[in-house]
Amino acid sequence: MATAAHDRDDEQWLRHVRPEGYQNPVPRGRYNLVVIGAGTAGLVAATGAAALGARVAVIEKERLGGTHLSTVVPRISLTRSARVLTTTRNAGEFAVPYTSDSKVDFPSILARARRVRAEIAMHDDVQQLAAKGVEVYFGAGQFKDGAHIAVNGQVLSFARALIATGSVPALPEIPGIETVRALRPEDVFTLNSVPRRLAIFGNDSAACEFAQAFARFGSTVTLYDPGTRLLPQEDAAAAAMLRSALERDGVTLRFGTLDLKLSPSRISGRNSEGEFADEFEEILFLSNCKPNIEGLNLDAAHVDHEDESIGVNDRLRTTNPRIFAAGDVCARLSFHNASDALARSVVANALFFGTYRYSPVHVPSLTLTDPEIARIGIGESDPHAKHYRVMELTFKDVDRAAFEHQEGFLRLYHDHRGGIHGATLVCSHAGEMIGEIALAMRHNIRLSSLAADLHPYPTFSEVFKRAGDNYRRTLLTPTISKLLTRVLGWRR
């Protein structure tokens, strides 16, 4: 029964992202914009341009939605199921008696992930795109020259083009890797049961999310990486808090790995803690990705692509002024959360002589573990961080955190006038909260203004008001304090 339900969900998803028997349209003259790749950046750019009246075509080699729909969406569903499972197991912390000997129904968890993916796929399927004025071509796009693209024997003429083909996983060079069945992220959702022992290579958000979820489902999870810690792009304190959370969930972390060797069910190597030899049932690689440019024939379009990456300027224009690139296909600007913003910039710059420059400053990122880690703007690894003041507040004094047995912190990078230039937030609701800081940064709202804002009680967002109050207290210098004392004395 579960298998039949899985098949129905997969059929529904595939019906939206690549309908069986679909016939490509016949090109009708020159397009204002041709997009190669129908992931997040490609679809946002295509629908945005079409909404403004442009003639738009999208070329997709495999399925609409790209890796976001095929892997990210179901991964998020897994993390949500894992969090609910842990909340249930910890019911005793809230004085709610609960006992259960039931095992994790992994097929049902995967079925929910497939169902959610199928529901989301409806938002940008072929019919929806056609209704929005976007013509969809399935096949491998290849540049004929700087103004034409071929797909399945047809040639499309364009005024502007956008390359948004994303990235593809690349296996690391480890002796014996050819002997193992290496899982790609999308392969995880084809498993029939929870692996007894799961090996994961990587230290990024996806690796941490998969590791925690499967550990909570009952896998013995080991995470391997040649680096020194998790999430190297995040503040060290945030990464350390996540490391503690993963270890509490039973994840074994092996950093600084050297001399790795693989056999069909065994990993051996060494790190600072000594030599190790670990057994595994399944192995997942998340650490290496490369821009997906194979077969595009970029040379014919006069688009430079050194080191397998497309070079772009800060307006996302390639060396061919007619052609733009956005998303993971640009290694220099590989920032998944920025895909939506990148696409909007391309529409303005390509179609309307815009001069929008790409900047990740106002684009928040999120690691959807428990606790969540959200960040925007300056972080401690940024070379400009030393020019700003740092304020850090824990959630110990926030009542909502006490009600929910939650820990975490807010770290703000600000100037002497209270302007916010970056933030790192670690708590169970960080992803929902970081938007308030993003809004403040974009509209130049200072810390002193946050002190005047009222938040519902009890919420985690009260920490922002406390941050504003802290900043205001720094303005109370000894001189101002003396003056206020005299004024108040005079008013008695």
pLDDT digits (tens, 9 = 90+) for 106-149: 999 999 998 999 888 888 889 999 999 999 999 999 999 999 99
Angle, alpha carbons 161-163-166 (nearest 5°)? 160
H/E element holding 110?
Answer: helix 106-121
User: Domains of the chain, with CATH numbers?
Assistant: 2-169+290-360 (3.50.50.60), 177-287 (3.50.50.60), 371-474 (3.30.390.30)
Q: What does 414-463 look like in DSSP terms, one character per residue?
A: E-TT--EEEEEEEETTHHHHHHHHHHHHHTT--HHHHTT----SS-TTHH
pLDDT digits (tens, 9 = 90+) for 44-73: 999 999 999 999 999 999 999 988 888 999
What pLDDT is recorded for position 2?
A: 46
Token pair 């600072």 in the structure block, residue: 272
What is the C-alpha to C-alpha distance for residues 390 and 413, in angstroms, rounded to an integer?
Answer: 5
Nearest one of 217, 216, 191 to 107, comparing CA atoms: 191
Span 414-437, mean pLDDT?
A: 95
**Global pTM?**
0.91
* Residues in contact with 263: Cβ distance below 8 Å, sequence separation at least 6, in sequence order: 176, 179, 180
Span 281-304, mean pLDDT?
A: 91
pLDDT digits (tens, 9 = 90+) for 225-266: 999 999 999 999 999 999 999 999 999 999 999 999 999 999
Span 413-435, mean pLDDT?
A: 95
pLDDT digits (tens, 9 = 90+) for 22-40: 999 999 899 999 999 999 8
